[in-house]
Amino acid sequence: MQVYFDNAATTALEDEVLKEMTAVLKEEYGNPSSIHGKGRSARARIEKARRTIANGLNASLGEIFFTSSATESNNMALRQAVHHLEVTRIISAPTEHHCVLNTILDLSNQKKIEAIFLSLDENGNISLEELTALLQQNRQTTLVSLMYGNNEIGTIHPIPEISKLCREHQAYFHCDAVQVLGKFPVDLQKISIDFLSGTAHKLYGPKGAAFLYMNENALIPPFITGGAQERNMRAGTENIYGIVGLAKAFELSIKDMEIRKDKIIRVRDYMKKSIESTFELVTFNGEQTKDHLYHILSVAFPYSAKNEMLIYNLDIKNIAASAGSACSSGTNKGSHVLEAIKPNDPSITIRFSFSHKNTIEEVDYVMETLKEILD
């Protein structure tokens, strides 16, 4: 049996997405900037995709810009806000994705901003009081960068409240929403955000296709300069099939959100209960009670030499899970997220993350394997 429980790292393509992409790969080879028929039909595909994304977020067409990754989107938002909106202070949290953290640190090392990281409780929650105090503190132009939901531990930040605080204190608000899109509804008319990023490969779409939502009141110039693509906001010939795949994946994730959610929660709850009833000393990382990312189950096994090899032993048994986030697993460092909420905790964490394709049978197989390895 092959089990893929690493859906927070990336997901397999939905069949419908693959079908649409293949058609585009075969037929729509025109350059969307060309004025002839082949160019115009490629352009039409992109604009249809833009409408899908805009509708899904309750945003305007003119607020959606396609990029190559959420990492690029986040670089664009943070760097251009600093360079062109006179942002001199960024308030963030140590549990952000590396593409946000490292970009903030780079800007800070260049002495362009003051970087402030909020303190967190052991579940990764920020304190709204601390954020309020910081926003009241001075009149520097501030950007708050906080992710919607955390990719390693699943904790969701109180985004409506953060948005409100930013508005009250004239701070810009950037939100990395890659793990939340397609899992929870996001209505940008109800929650005011300046910059929001999303990516296809977390929602059963292709890698290399992402977007940045940019509030029409917070326009920044392009991060990648050149041709007039994306209404002069992001140069480079468009990845049409990727963009079409992104839109299809996003559309399906909204249409089937409740069905998928029920399936995922059933599998996650079953696995969580199985673990609780099998392994006495095991705990779970991140918020487990109030709203959290229901596709993520971060399990802390007590430290032992055996447990330290757990992720590799699962892999030998064809079970794909993650020690932390995929993006940092190449580096041999521990998880910066766990270090931020549970410093010096020797536990061995395995993140299992689920899709609507996963089954109870797969959980049974993983549980059997865990018992074999750990007993």
Beta-bridged to residue 198, according to DSSP, are 211
Point out which span in 57-65, 98-106, 128-136, 302-310 binds its own copies (CB under 8 A): 98-106
Catalytic, 327? Answer yes
Point out which span in 20-28, 111-119, 180-188, 264-272 binds its own copies (CB under 8 A): 20-28
Angle (CA) 274 280 281, round 5°:
120
Out of 75, 285, 307, 358, the residue judged to bind its own copies by CB under 8 A = 75
Q: How far apart are CA 353 and CA 358, in angstroms?
A: 10
Q: Which of 217, 176, 191, 151 is nearest to 77 (CA)?
A: 176
**What burial class does residue 333 get, using C-beta atoms within 10 Å of its C-beta: 0-12 exposed, 13-18 middle, 19+ buried?**
exposed
Q: Is 25 in the site for its own copies (CB under 8 A)?
A: yes
Q: Is 343 in the site for its own copies (CB under 8 A)?
A: no
Q: Which residues contact 270 (CB under 8 A, 6 or more apart)?
A: 360, 363
Q: How far apart are CA 2 and CA 4, in angstroms?
A: 7
Q: Is 358 in the site for its own copies (CB under 8 A)?
A: no
Q: What binding mask, one character per residue, do residues 302-321 give for its own copies by CB under 8 A, x or -?
A: ---------xx-xx--xxxx
- Copy the structure tokens of residue 287: 């918020």
Minimum separation from the CB atom of position 257 to its own copies (A): 21
Minimum separation from the CB atom of position 164 to its own copies (A): 29
Q: Is 13 in the site for its own copies (CB under 8 A)?
A: yes
3-class secondary structure, 348: strand
Q: What binding mask, one character per residue, do residues 36-65 give for its own copies by CB under 8 A, x or -?
A: xxxx--------------------------
Q: Is 71 in the site for its own copies (CB under 8 A)?
A: yes
Phi first, then psi: give them for residue 66, nearest 5 degrees. -85, 140
Q: Which is nearer to its own copies, 44 or 133 (CB)?
A: 44
Q: How far apart are CA 6 and CA 352, in angstroms?
A: 6
Minimum separation from the CB atom of position 274 to its own copies (A): 21
Point out which span in 28-36, 264-272, 342-350, 358-366 binds its own copies (CB under 8 A): 28-36
Q: Is 208 in the site for its own copies (CB under 8 A)?
A: yes
Out of 137, 170, 237, 278, the residue judged to bind its own copies by CB under 8 A = 237
Q: Note whether 72 and 314 are within 8 A (CB).
A: no
Minimum separation from the CB atom of position 351 to its own copies (A): 11
Q: How far apart are CA 90 and CA 171, in angstroms?
A: 9
Catalytic residues: 327
